[in-house]
A and B are shown apart, each in its own frame.
Chain A
């Protein structure tokens, strides 16, 4: 098997003596779309932030492309990993084009390349070119998060980290944006690690689902396998909710037909 793109080796993180992430070991091969689910405080965001060193592990190591991230310059590391922030995280004082262009500019791309990349990315995330000159507060929540995705992808990263990217959006926008992201993932050959508390979203978009609770990794399986049931009662309860809803919905649709 090829070397994993991202690897966690018995990684733990303590906050004031309390474990937020506890002895997690796992490999993520290139090209996978991985969703991390769990309740608030389960450690899923902390786990993700350790990949680009927004959070430093207390023990254990995180490897990206086989190299320990602790040995790399965090600034350079972050410039080659896309990150979509919880909420929005756009720079309110910069226009859409400037927000998207931020990482290429930090990498000192030639100006024509940056301009071309902005045009390309607006198309890629399905935003009209006229939006380039708008400020973030002139956009809707869904449009803003599309800009967030475009910004994360601007410097052509191999890895995309997403922290509750669609949490604040209405269900219709959320579903559309989720599918668009998955399409981008496939088209660009990305390796994606997405944190979400929405199990249904995870089941529908991801290749692989990590379930976390109290800092520990309780389950690591494909959506199909998880839906078949899981010995851990916490995991089973988490997965059962959308499954039950899906059954109820299809019964309803059957009754109406």
Chain B
């Protein structure tokens, strides 16, 4: 427990400073767009209705989806700018997070600013005209100061929202306090989850307090609280920016990881090997499955681990299931030719979608293969992870064996394994390298008809690193070096409830066990 807390504290400077910079930039950009828009909207109902409606509509999109939507949008835009102007737009990381959060921050600022500006007493407005003010003078000397307290209240709301929503920028590859939450959820490290929530809440409260000070100063027309609040806020942003500027040495390599334990461990292992070779390594963690490959293709990450069967079905769009070695050969050739992506080789284990059962239950029902399930399925309940039931692999198994389960339920992976012991599910969609298979004494049902492709864990290298000898030489020893038992053990060390290890610790032990250190 205290080890995990120490690990969390060690990551705080990086996560917090990135979180602060992202939120501050989004809020600043949000203000720069919303305030002029609010002035126009306050003057013209023709602008007001569409502007406020649009900002309101944005607010109805779940934060995570909004962030995710910017990735394909920027990727398409990046393709355009690359071909039209020859520069590459960052589709992953800071830019999509910034744009999504900026949109998110607009509603409270816009709504309050419009309310504040239109709420100025018409008599006062007429007096401003009557004493001979121009429109700009009226805005800056009369309307804006009178609306300022209402506008500031909106800015406070926007700041709290932005800081909260910034935790969602982890899956698009931007480091934030959300890294604690996302990696904690995946590895069941509740200390990390709580730490991330607490840190983000503390940041939001601190910023809200300082903006509250500014707001009170503005409302009472006292300069001191306004200056004090503004200075402290700027000092906080500067404090976050300075270490980032000092460490502005560009990372040599960017290592990607999808959003589950094995990916974190392998990314740590790859990172450690590159760092040992003297390279600077940056991480993009918690990427969605499709996002990760496209990011590699676009050169936003340099290396990550994917699975041959996933690439086969999702990227190559193939539905046939050739034997393991044949699939690897075809995949490697296709990737090199079509995507200029290097498949360095298999790490030596598979992480396949497999159906698993409790060993005792399987024994008593006489089930050894998926084919044995066909007759008994109507009396059994299938538990799948959140995406399994909609994946082509399941459709393929279902069809090949004519499975017709009595019930089908979806679970978060953690709860899926628990459902097996509590009897809420009889058969689950397990990952073959999952440490819980051994720990819970489960039996993995074999696939005699070969309905599911093989899932060799492979190292992928981005097109622009294809000839990078330093990278390739550092990673080459990993090929064929990790047996499935070693990977299961490392995964379990991270996933188990007691004596949990961090992915980095598990990676270090895995390296020792496989002579990769």
Contact = CB atoms under 8 A, between A and B. Distances in A.
A86 B131 contact: no
Contact of B133 (A54, A83, A87, A106): A106
Interface residues of B, number: 18
A91 B134 CA distance: 16
Interface string B130-162: 111110010001100110000000000000000
Contacts of A54: 126, 129-130
Contacts of A106: 131-133, 137
B472 interface: no
B129 A151 contact: no
B126 to A, nearest CB: 7
Nearest to B120: A92
A85 B145 contact: no
Contacts of B202: none
A22 B133 CA distance: 29
A95 B121 CA distance: 18
A151 B131 contact: yes
Interface string A46-81: 000000101000000000000000000001111100
A83 B123 contact: no
Contacts of A87: 123
B223 to A, nearest CB: 13
Contacts of B129: 54, 78
Contacts of B133: 75, 106
A75 B133 CA distance: 6
Contacts of B43: none
A27 to B, nearest CB: 24
| Secondary structure class of chain B's binding surface, majority of residues | helix
Given A85-B123, A85-B126, A85-B127, A93 B134 contact: no
B218 to A, nearest CB: 10
Interface centre among B129, B130, B142, B221, by most A CB within 10 Å?
Answer: B130
B206 interface: no
Nearest to B135: A75
B127 A90 contact: yes
Given A86-B123, A93-B221, A106-B137, A78 B146 contact: no
Contacts of B137: 106
A90 B141 CA distance: 13
A229 interface: no
B403 to A, nearest CB: 73
Given A86-B123, A87-B123, A106-B137, A93 B145 contact: yes
A89 to B, nearest CB: 4
A163 to B, nearest CB: 9
Interface string B102-131: 000000000000000000010110111111
A103 B132 contact: yes
Interface of A: 52, 54, 75-79, 83, 85-93, 102-103, 106, 151
Interface of B: 121, 123-124, 126-134, 137, 141-142, 145-146, 221
4 A-B pairs with the lowest CB-CB distances in the bound complex, closest first: A79-B132, A89-B127, A78-B132, A83-B130
25 contacts: A52-B130, A54-B129, A54-B130, A75-B132, A75-B133, A75-B134, A78-B129, A78-B132, A79-B132, A83-B131, A85-B123, A85-B126, A85-B130, A86-B123, A87-B123, A89-B123, A89-B127, A89-B130, A92-B121, A92-B124, A92-B146, A93-B145, A93-B146, A103-B131, A106-B137
